[in-house]
Amino acid sequence: MRVVFAGTPEVAVPSLDAIHASPHEIVAVVTRPDAPAGRGRKLLPSPVALRAEELGIPVLKPEHPRDPAFQATLRELDPDCCPVVAYGALLPQEALDIPKHGWVNLHFSLLPAWRGAAPVQRSIWAGDEITGATTFRIVKELDAGPTFGMMTERVRDTDTAGDLLDRLAEGGAGLLVATLDGIEAGQLEAREQETEGLLSYAPKILVEDARIVWTEPAVGVDRRIRACSPFPGAWSTFQGERIKIGPVTPGATSDLAPGQIEVTKNAVYVGTGSTVVKLGEVKAFGKKQMAAADWARGIHDFPADARFGED
């Protein structure tokens, strides 16, 4: 089929590569406009735009897909289908109606579970044992269109959102190509989502959501931190300054109060609402990320009664 691929971040690149390697013809790529990045806030193209340019595929960067000029270009391209992975803009009905087989989205959850912007993070945070990816036809309602196919993936005990998303991006790329193959062959029928008792939402995780609540049990602290890693980054405060905290390891029972810190020669432990957790890496304000023990050694006369979370 003639396809126009829509995507923006790094997680969409495996799907772009997989479709490019398939018999389907990518006639153009749609991505978000160049955005400021880095300390200099220089405008940089998206990862999908960079990869498309390497592959020699024309790139479209509309300010919004409702732009008449963009829709006119899309009609001229005459795509059979528009596969989508994390494009990042709402598609108006006028654009949805252009390709014969619609816009087919790869979403990183087992729909109708975790509709929304942060399905992988919310799945880890909720303690799901299994998650996956779904292909579906986009409709105006959020992630509510009829589904074509699914793949499942086990959530590992140590998975961060970044770890899990990387695996889903690779596995989902194959699912997306298989979906396009099935649509072209006329052998794949989209089915309406069964929502009774299964529907859940995954709103975007804000920086304030990522603040560690040390009174939660260790398992809750662990899940919050892993769900917020690498973005936006779980954090707490120490001596009035914000510090980012990487994945932790729940440990044995101790008498540490929630947020109370215990420093040993090679480790740093923190009390929670249940057992302690052993810190992995931390990033203090203005410093590089480092092992927790190295961070503690760098603090002169580390207070014996030190705690996280005391502003």
Known binding residues for (6S)-5,6,7,8-tetrahydrofolate:
109-112
CA atoms within 13 A on the CB side of 42: 5
- The single residue listed with the structure tokens 């196919």 is 149
How many other CB atoms are found less than 10 A from the CB of residue 37? Answer: 12
Of residues 311, 48, 1, the one with CA closest to residue 177: 1
Residues 251, 238: Cα–Cα separation, whole Å: 21
Feature table: binding site: 109-112
Bond preceding residue 112 cis, omega within 30 of 0: yes
Burial status of residue 282 (CB atoms within 10 A of its CB: 0-12, 13-18, 19 or more): buried
Q: What are the residues facing 133 on neighbouring strands?
A: 151
